[in-house]
Amino acid sequence: MFTGIQRKTKLLFGLSDILLSTSAFGAAYASRVWLPFERPFFLRPPEMALLLGFSALVWVGMGIWLNVYERLESSHPRTVLRDGFRQSFGGLIAIVLLEYLLKLDLSRSFLALFGVYAWVFLCVFRLSTGRLVRALRAFGTQRYVLVVGVGNSARRLGEALEQSQRYGIRLVGFLAEEGGDAPESVRLTGEYPVFPLSELRALLRERVIDEVLFALEKPNLADLEDTLVLCDEEGVRTRLALDFFKHVNSEMYLDRLGTLPLLTFAAAPHDEIRLFVKRTTDVVLAAAALVILAPLMAAIALLIRLTSRGPAIFTQVRCGLNGRRFTFYKFRSMVENAEQLKETLAHLNRKSTAFKIPNDPRLTPVGRYLRKFSVDEWPQLWNVMRGDMSLVGPRPPVPDEVENYKGWQRRRLRMRPGLTCLWALEGRDALDFETWMKMDMQYIDNWSLALDWKILLRTIPRVLTGKGAY
């Protein structure tokens, strides 16, 4: 119910941004033509059509990128002004890049006016969205809802329904199971009557009821079958609140195996389409990077062989997606017997589970620079090509680390490991192990394709400066 309404709201804001950016473009163009500047400015119809279409796409794209549409309805005016500025500034940067690529000759005053108008139009519209939602609701259909249950779960659901009144949701009352000590009414912000469950058929026929929501403490689904069949016969939509699994934080959704319905709990991203796009992006970018970097990688491999004993490529077994073992590649940055020296240097380790030593004495002179600027990680592009790793994801651990994980830390294995990750942007090796784990969980819980791109783009300056690496 609410997911569908939120999607409609996001679609509304997206369409409004197309209209507002187009209006801002027209206003800026008219203002620039009207202003008495010495140099005239004119756009031919093909150029205007291209810029109008590109501007509309960019403004909506920036809104999605910045997660503007996720918080518009409840945003503070300061947030609305800030988001509108960031969206308009990002859109202008994209137009300047397009001008450079296509060698267009756009007036700087026109671009400045376009940015200002777009920001003003977006902010004025978004600051009045409360009145807009109320106006739209006046043209919509009210939805009347009954809640089955009178316990804590039902009360929480009732409170959520009350808070959704702005969407046109109306709570009619509660239904109590037979044989219980049910109250005559339930008092929340308002007071709602409690009906016996046996009266459901009469209520469905005598009143307007659009949906029946089940919110029982520990429901026996078999006992609810008759009630569900009754609602099915009447054509009334039914929903079952699943908060009786109080300690399960996974996303829940209904899937099917053939004709068999499966209630699924997912503790990691599961959208196959978006994961396929992520994998395709990994392959394309990793292949391009390997081709571009091949001559430099060959030179680095030769330099490693000339300056220290041992192979140029260091291999190690790491744990990947869901614990799968794979061979991990990197340029050797340490002495040949680094693994054998590990035990003698254990007292220098700064991490609780992972093995990390500041100014590691096993590093070779060349390896110290390879490690500082993450050049030693370049061979993992081959791991990305093979599917062992992704460009963005939690860093792949060694099996010994995984054996010492706490229960909650093992969930980081449910995402394909990556070349770079969220904590690599916030301090790299300078962060403690517990912070690593928490930031990996934050990445998994908030994963999106846009987040991957943000991490990739922010990784570049971080790596170039070498900040935070041991």
Q: How many CA atoms lie within 13 A of 110 on its CB side?
A: 21
149 shares its domain with 179: yes
Q: How many CA atoms lie within 13 A of 366 on its CB side?
A: 18
Highest mean pLDDT among 86-100, 169-183, 430-444: 86-100
pLDDT at 302: 95
Q: Give the model confidence (pLDDT) of 135-192 as tens digits.
A: 555 455 678 999 998 888 889 899 989 887 877 788 999 998 776 678 888 999 899 9
**What is the number of other CB atoms lying within 10 angstroms of the CB of residue 210?**
16
Least confident of 34-38, 94-98, 129-133, 192-196: 129-133
Q: What is the distance between the alpha carbons of residues 270 and 337, in angstroms, rounded to a whole number?
A: 41
Mean pLDDT of 346-358: 67
pLDDT at 134: 54
Q: What is the distance between the alpha carbons of residues 296 and 299, in angstroms, rounded to a whole number?
A: 5
Whether 378 has a pLDDT exceeding 60, the answer reads yes
165 shares its domain with 311: no
Whether 222 has a pLDDT exceeding 80, the answer reads no
Domain count, the chain: 3
Mean pLDDT of 88-102: 90
Question: Within a domain: residue 360?
Answer: yes
Question: Within a domain: residue 253?
Answer: no
User: Which of 135, 166, 192 lies at the terminal end of a domain, its last residue?
Assistant: 135
Mean pLDDT of 327-338: 89
71 shares its domain with 184: no
Phi first, then psi, for residue 326 (nearest 5°) are -150, 165
Query: Cβ(423)–Cβ(444) under 8 Å?
Result: no
Q: How confident is the model at residue 247 (pLDDT cuts 50, 70, 90)?
A: low
Whether 439 has a pLDDT exceeding 50, the answer reads yes
Question: Within a domain: residue 116?
Answer: yes
Look up the CATH number of the domain holding residue 221.
Answer: 3.40.50.720
Question: Within a domain: residue 470?
Answer: no
Highest mean pLDDT among 53-67, 220-234, 337-351: 53-67
Report pTM. 0.66
Q: How confident is the model at residue 297 (pLDDT cuts 50, 70, 90)?
A: very high
Mean pLDDT of 327-354: 78
What is the residue-averaged pLDDT of the chain?
Answer: 84
Structural domain of 39: 2-135
User: Which of 135, 153, 184 lies at the terminal end of a domain, its last residue?
Assistant: 135
pLDDT at 73: 58
Mean pLDDT of 210-223: 79
Q: What is the distance between the alpha carbons of residues 357 and 420, in angstroms, rounded to a whole number?
A: 20
Mean pLDDT of 270-278: 88
User: Which of 85, 117, 135 lies at the terminal end of a domain, its last residue?
Assistant: 135
105 shares its domain with 235: no
Question: Within a domain: residue 122?
Answer: yes
Q: How many CA atoms lie within 13 A of 446 on its CB side?
A: 15
Q: What is the per-residue burial (b if ≥16 Cβ within 10 Å, else e) of 354-380?
A: bebbeebebbbebbeebbbebbbbbbb
Question: Within a domain: residue 39?
Answer: yes
369 shares its domain with 455: yes
381 shares its domain with 236: no
pLDDT at 1: 47
Question: Within a domain: residue 266?
Answer: no
90 shares its domain with 160: no
321 shares its domain with 441: yes
Question: Within a domain: residue 213?
Answer: yes
242 shares its domain with 304: no
297 shares its domain with 421: yes
455 shares its domain with 321: yes
Q: How confident is the model at residue 195 (pLDDT cuts 50, 70, 90)?
A: very high
Whether 2 has a pLDDT exceeding 60, the answer reads no
Highest mean pLDDT among 336-340, 347-351, 421-425, 430-434: 421-425
Least confident of 53-57, 293-297, 466-470: 466-470
235 shares its domain with 362: no
pLDDT at 188: 92
Using CB atoms within 10 A of its CB, is residue 416 exposed (0-12), middle (13-18) or buried (19+)? buried
pLDDT at 219: 66
